[in-house]
Structure 1
Amino acid sequence: MKEIQDIVQAFTRHTAEGKQTALATVVHVEGSSYRRPGARMLVSDDGQLTGAISGGCLEGDALRKARLAMSEGRPALVKYDTMDDDDAKLGVGLGCNGIIHILIEPIDLTSSQHPLSLLQKVIGQRQVAVVVTLFSLQDRKGPQPGTCYVTQFDEEVITPALSEALLSEVQADVRATRSSLVSSTKSYKHGQNTFTAFLEVLQPAPALVICGAGNDVMPLVNMASLLGWPTTVVDGRANYATQDRFPHARQVLVAKPEQVLPNLTVDHTTIFLLFTHNYNYDLAMLRLLLPLPLPYIGVLGPKKKMARMLDELQEEGLHLEEAQVNKVFGPVGLDLGAETSEEIALSVLAEIKAVLARRNARFLRDKQESIHATAGASIPEPTIS
């Protein structure tokens, strides 16, 4: 989501300066690639790039093709075959061993439903969205509908590029995608044309609430900002919890434990970290947080502290389900050998990412399967309308 936020901000800036732009999106990958479907890059007519569609090896050529698409005023589907060891014919050093399909869409500001306007809607709400990008692998020179459908809440935005004939089929697959929360690729046969749709699930960025405003929290806030995670810092000490100390925090609250939740919007993406170095404050917060459907609660300190807190809560009569205890991580963080505040912040944020992605953090070198489970996924046979 951070990449999309950066792209939308850059688009707003370029538009204010009167620049033309195009959006490049990785829509399908066969084999291995540095970026997966859904990776995006905004290109301005003066050559500025925001986002990335590869590790840097495709951007130069994509820039040239994006300028051509802007001059012609129509989307273009570009194919990069990196399976050949002789990368010289592309003029880039790839070594990804895959085929990458990139859709380039010039942004038409006369349309109210261009791709960037749809992405602006997505980041404007902290809700799961499904974005549909339609393209034709069969006929690259034919129509490329592009980013044509967004659904969020129960609201749908459908562009004229998505024909009525395909709409019902796409909507059925969107409903299935919203239910599974897994991005997918579908294919549709319509008359003589075969279209492929990339149905992308976009989750809101995790919202980080850090209870504690000590110096060790500063690197956490700064790193979370780099990730695009909105962060709130809470502390009972007014001289610690200040915006001056945490300029990258979206919100800074001076609050006692019982005042914290009434001043926040908490949802299924909210992460809590208890870093106050105050046992009673952390215990009071944990008492309030355990009943909530949160994905992660991190508690700074040794195992003895964590065990004591849970024992005290149970002695108070608080019944703890296994699922409630399993979402509490104390000591917090991955075992990286972290010592400094910065290293601890890295350890904590890496653990949060692993938990949210349902991954067992380990060396990629030791992984037997591909890095991305969906890499090289084939396109299903088209349904016929």
Structure 2
Amino acid sequence: MDSFHSLLKRRRQRECSGVLATLRSAEGHAYRKPGAAMLIGPNGQLDGHLSPGCIEADLARLADRVLESGRSAFMVYDVREADDLSWGEAVGCGGRLEVLLEPMDATLVAALDAVERALDEGHAVKLARRMNGEGLVSEYRVQYGDCWHERFSRPLDGMQRVDQVISFYYEANPRLLVFGAGDDAMPVVELASRAGFSVIVADRREALCSRLRFPSASLLVSDGVNEMGAALAIGPRDRAVVMTHQMAQDRDLLVLLAKSPVRFIGLLGSSKRVRRLTEGLLSPRDSRLHAPVGIVPFAEGPERIAISIVAELLEDIRQEGASISLRAAVEAEKG
């Protein structure tokens, strides 16, 4: 899940500069949806993709021109014909893509920082670009909720009349709460982060709950269970996996989670262990309970277990999306 939220986080972690490439429109078969973005570093390093690899090399070449001029540019790639000789080979993408290339100057960086802050707070964000007659971005606007919150203007030569506005909506990454900072939690956190989750690692063992062990985690919390609950503000779209491997602490965490609106509670261990942990707290029929967690029960080895867990989390994301779509369709029908 190469989300915009994840891309912004990687940009900050790696102190990326260069060019932001955003898919403005896509017709026909396309690898990504409009609004998808990638970063192109000053030396052609790529972070993210807009296609299966059909246009990235050309975008990297064009990014040098954008950096040199300091001006944004539009590129159109029409690869709807599988034998398009202009590409020299059958690229097979099958779509018409329009891409906006923008230099990462101070104005754009400030706008992206504002978007990232809003996404970190769990808001859905609208990022609008106001463009002049030459197709240059004169202003960025960031909106969440019912009003515009921040504006970032770029001084341009010539006419300042706004010719068009391009807007994209971005959702915050779903949160995954991993309770437990043992060695087997490390591949879960890394893989879930790469899959598009904002992962929070919580463990009272401060020596284990460290940035060195969990470099991709969005947040590390080392405290008691009650303090964890206050710090995390668990919401109805959050998912949790309990893996401290300590019965008393796992039970305390389940007490916290059972009272919360959390959507998904994953537990490791045998059915006997699960019964002991959940007795009097969670019914086996509680839809939130996933035990043993993972689409492959009792997978062996930390890497396979991590893949199994993250696969089930992604399936839950899909089910949530299907449920939201169904509710929206029902509401539209009623209206």
TM-score by length of 1: 0.67
Relative to 1, partners in 2 of residues 1:313 and 1:293: Cα closer, same or farther, differing over 3 Å?
A: closer
**Aligned 8 A contact 2:30 2:93 in 1:** yes
**Aligned 8 A contact 2:114 2:150 in 1:** no
Relative to 1, partners in 2 of residues 1:217 and 1:47: Cα closer, same or farther, differing over 3 Å?
A: closer
Relative to 1, partners in 2 of residues 1:156 and 1:360: Cα closer, same or farther, differing over 3 Å?
A: closer
Relative to 1, partners in 2 of residues 1:359 and 1:101: Cα closer, same or farther, differing over 3 Å?
A: farther
1:181-225, CA deviations, whole angstroms, 9 ceiling, x for partnerless residues? xxxxxxxxx99x6x463421231x344332234432232233345
Matching residue's letter, 1:121: A
Aligned to 1:246: 213
1:143 aligns with 2:135: yes
Aligned to 2:203: 234
1:358 aligns with 2:319: yes
CA distance in 1, matches of 2:165, 2:91: 26
| Among 158, 171, 176, the residue aligned to 2:151 | 158
CA distance in 2, matches of 1:242, 1:197: 42
Q: How does 1:5-24 map to 2 (within 5 A)?
A: 5-10=9-14, 12=15, 14=17, 21-24=18-21
CA distance in 2, matches of 1:285, 1:56: 44
1:334-367, CA deviations, whole angstroms, 9 ceiling, x for partnerless residues? 1387321111111112222221343699xxxxxx
CA distance in 1, matches of 2:276, 2:169: 44
| Among 33, 40, 43, the residue aligned to 1:43 | 40
1:83 aligns with 2:80: yes
Cα deviation, residue 102, structure 1: 0.7
Matching residue's letter, 1:79: V
Matching residue's letter, 2:58: D
CA distance in 2, matches of 1:294, 1:83: 44
TM-score by length of 2: 0.75
Gaps of 5+ in 1: 15-20, 162-189, 315-319, 362-372, 374-385
Aligned to 1:66: 63
3-state SS of 1:312 partner? coil
1:245-291, CA deviations, whole angstroms, 9 ceiling, x for partnerless residues? 83435425253x44532354434554321113334432332222122
CA distance in 2, matches of 1:302, 1:336: 10
**Aligned 8 A contact 1:41 1:50 in 2:** yes
Relative to 1, partners in 2 of residues 1:282 and 1:44: Cα closer, same or farther, differing over 3 Å?
A: closer
CA distance in 1, matches of 2:39, 2:110: 13
Aligned to 2:123: 128
Matching residue's letter, 1:246: R
1:277 aligns with 2:245: yes
CA distance in 1, matches of 2:232, 2:251: 19
Aligned length: 307
1:135-190, CA deviations, whole angstroms, 9 ceiling, x for partnerless residues? 89xx9x842548722124666123447xxxxxxxxxxxxxxxxxxxxxxxxxxxx9
Q: Between the two structures, name the one with larger relative contact order (CA 8 Å, sep ≥ 6).
A: 1
Relative to 1, partners in 2 of residues 1:53 and 1:215: Cα closer, same or farther, differing over 3 Å?
A: same
CA distance in 1, matches of 2:138, 2:304: 42
Aligned to 1:4: 8
| Among 112, 115, 119, the residue aligned to 2:112 | 119
CA distance in 2, matches of 1:80, 1:104: 13
Cα deviation, residue 84, structure 1: 0.7
Q: How does 1:290-369 map to 2 (within 5 A)?
A: 290-307=258-275, 309-313=277-281, 325-335=286-296, 338-358=299-319
| Among 174, 182, 185, the residue aligned to 1:217 | 185
Cα deviation, residue 91, structure 1: 4.3
3-state SS of 2:52 partner? coil
**Aligned 8 A contact 1:271 1:294 in 2:** yes
1:286-342, CA deviations, whole angstroms, 9 ceiling, x for partnerless residues? 22212212222111124454455544237xxxxx7x8xx222222211138732111
1:70-97, CA deviations, whole angstroms, 9 ceiling, x for partnerless residues? 3444322211111111243134652121
CA distance in 1, matches of 2:127, 2:214: 36
CA distance in 1, matches of 2:139, 2:11: 15
- Aligned Cα root-mean-square deviation (Å): 3.7
